[in-house]
Structure 1
Amino acid sequence: MPKLPRSSRLASPVDTTAYGTYRIVRRPDDPRPLYRFSDHVVDKPQSGRYHIYAGWFCPWSQRVVIAHALAGLQGIVTVSYVDNARDGRGWAFRERYGPDPVNGFRLLRQAYEATEEGFDGHISVPTLWDRSTARVVSNDFKGIGIDLATRFQHLATPIVNTYPEAHRAEIEELDAWLNPAVNRGVLAAEQPGPDGERARTALHEALAALDQRLAGRRYLLGPDITEADIRLFVTLVRFGAGITRYPDLWAYARDLYTVPAFRDSTDFTTFTPPGAELPDWSEPVRRPAYT
């Protein structure tokens, strides 16, 4: 079968007049989770079996892309990116990042519909695709990150073991605090009214506590980068100039930004509002020699 021209494998431009805006529709009586697919990578997978559909704009995608890089999985698990904008059809493949290299889908929705006929749920990135079974394995970003860190060590030596067994309980304990207060708290804090005020208070209390914690250690759990640092970084890098109010937290964030996996997965233009003030992420990092 002849290969389709590149242009025929791209979605048409975003058109909210024709397709409306993207909405997550969930019935109150629907017991299914928002992120409906949560299977795991098979034990000892073959190189080339899995593909990640990601988005530069998305913090949850960036978590997975960082984990992928630190696990040394370039060339073992492939990655491609959807366009930065969407209409009612959901995420799509357009000229900026190119066509879908795996299936030639124009819309990410097609991957979900190929997995579940008549799919009526949330279409999100990151999405983990299995070439062998031709289906979505997972759009649970937390589970995907852990799988990348733990399921491929027979194929690649990790640059950093980000989910070491000895620290998994502590990583998840931190996540139980930081996910609602910081990762999701940033958006909640932008809302008006009493709920927004409570979220802002919780957010700044958490950032102050992190600032104090990082005054005495290089990373959240000590001398080595872990999944906990990945999860926090993707929010800090989107926080804007406000992060400079917390000097040790700001130094820690810049320290992480010097690591290629963190820096190379960050494109400020995809998530920073026009005219927004950005701190200087290239400012030299001066931190103590922690023991």
Structure 2
Amino acid sequence: MSYVSPGGKYSRDSRYITTRITTDGRDGFPVEPGRYRLVVSRACPWASRAVIVRRLLGLERALPMAVAGPIHDERSWTFDLDPGGRDPVLGIERLQQAYFRRDPGYDRGITVPAIVDVPTGKVVTNHFPQITIDMSLEWMLYHRDGAPALYPPALRSEIDAVNEVVYKDVNNGVYRAGFAGSQESYAEAYERLFARLEWLSKRLVRSRYLVGDTITEADVRLFTSLVRFDAVYHGHFKCNRHKLSEMPVLWAYTRDLFQTPGFGDTVDFDHIKRHYYTVHRDINPTRIVPAGPDLTNWLEPHDRAALGGRPFGDGTSPKPVTPEEAVPADHTPLAW
């Protein structure tokens, strides 16, 4: 749930359910394998972070996942991808039902990612920034052998600092541009976005990853915005100074991550395009979904390995994605 101020500025409702699932269960929800269900949509960049981190850390069995369809209405995300339009574990048709089981008077956004307590059917949390951090720190007992350190102690302050500016100017910045209610608000968001992308390009011209020489939480958070840039943000959100594919450093960086197991194999371009162009009727009243862009260039060589760095540090690559969680072959260039 978000709104546009009288002055035309877009504001995101950040009133999330901040209950945490922790090793010691101090909020009443201890880490227990199989107890919870991570509800996501592959269309949503905030949810896609959780999908990537879960896969990199090997939490698939410990934290099962439900995938909502890419299109929702004002009430909620729906489970229309499942037989009968109902999640087979939670037994619900709409994510809204799990929120109302937690709080019948819930009046905030029905957002993904959300983690639901299966025994009660109630949402535990939808606080997306904390969800992925807790996957790294609180679910450690259930990480796969060789799981990478995505939030290492020595780099946390720098990761947090990078994440803060990337969130303000890029992750949320594209929305501030796309949903701006005035020319002035749009121009401000547009300029901040491209100034930050230039800053990121300078940072990444000599460094393969954003913080340190391995993939961290910072790379995951930036990737989910950049991978949507040409398909959605450039046209739909009017972020059209340059395409990602016209920004050499960021384009190579994003292709590097896309071609890394755990990143590109979670991306569903069909769901991404159908969500944005269909759901945002105020921006795209015809609901026509563009045929492009051409996606085959995502597999072109990126040459980023010459900068050094080790994607998974002292860890290893995750195993191939399981068939039941694979992105449909016609939705990703990795299968073409």
TM-score range (shorter-chain normalised) is 0.7 to 0.9
Which residue is equivalent to 1:262? 263
What are the equivalent positions in structure 2 for 1:148-227 lying under 5 Å apart? 148-157=135-144, 159-190=147-178, 191=180, 193-227=183-217
Q: Give the superposed CA RMSD.
A: 2.2
Alignment CA distance shift 1:211-1:265 (3 Å):
same
TM-score by structure 2 length? 0.73
Alignment CA distance shift 1:262-1:189 (3 Å):
same
Number of positions where the alignment pairs a residue of Structure 1 with one of Structure 2: 263
Structure 1 residue matching 2:65: 3-state secondary structure: strand
Q: Report the CA distance between 1:246 and its aligned residue.
A: 1.8
Q: Report the CA distance between 1:276 and its aligned residue.
A: 3.8
Post-superposition Cα deviations, 1:196-237, rounded to whole Å, max 9, x if no partner, equal: 111111111111111111111110012100000000000000
Which residue is equivalent to 2:7? none
Structure 2 residue matching 1:261: 3-state secondary structure: coil
CA distance in structure 1 between the aligned counterparts of 2:15 and 2:115, rounded to whole angstroms: 12
Q: Report the CA distance between 1:140 and its aligned residue.
A: 0.8
Question: Does structure 1 conserve the Cα–Cα contact (< 8 Å) formed by 2:18 and 2:125?
Answer: yes
Q: For structure 1, which segment, 170-179 or 127-136, has the greater mean C-alpha deviation from structure 2 after superposition?
A: 127-136
Structure 2 residue matching 1:136: 3-state secondary structure: strand
Structure 1 residue matching 2:89: 3-state secondary structure: coil
Which residue is equivalent to 1:15? none
Letter in 1 for 2:175: L
CA distance in structure 2 between the aligned counterparts of 1:193 and 1:25, rounded to whole angstroms: 16
CA distance in structure 2 between the aligned counterparts of 1:96 and 1:57, rounded to whole angstroms: 16
Q: For structure 1, which segment, 134-143 or 274-283, has the greater mean C-alpha deviation from structure 2 after superposition?
A: 274-283
Question: Does structure 2 conserve the Cα–Cα contact (< 8 Å) formed by 1:35 and 1:139?
Answer: no
Which residue is equivalent to 2:291? 275
Q: Report the CA distance between 1:278 and its aligned residue.
A: 4.3
Letter in 2 for 1:269: D
CA distance in structure 2 between the aligned counterparts of 1:266 and 1:135, rounded to whole angstroms: 28
Which residue is equivalent to 2:322? none
For structure 2, the 5+ residue unaligned runs are: 5-12, 25-30, 232-242, 274-288, 310-336
Identity rate of aligned residues, in percent? 35
Post-superposition Cα deviations, 1:126-177, rounded to whole Å, max 9, x if no partner, equal: 1011235542111011111111111111122352111111111111101121
Q: Does 1:72 align with 2:62?
A: no
For structure 1, the 5+ residue unaligned runs are: 1-22, 27-32
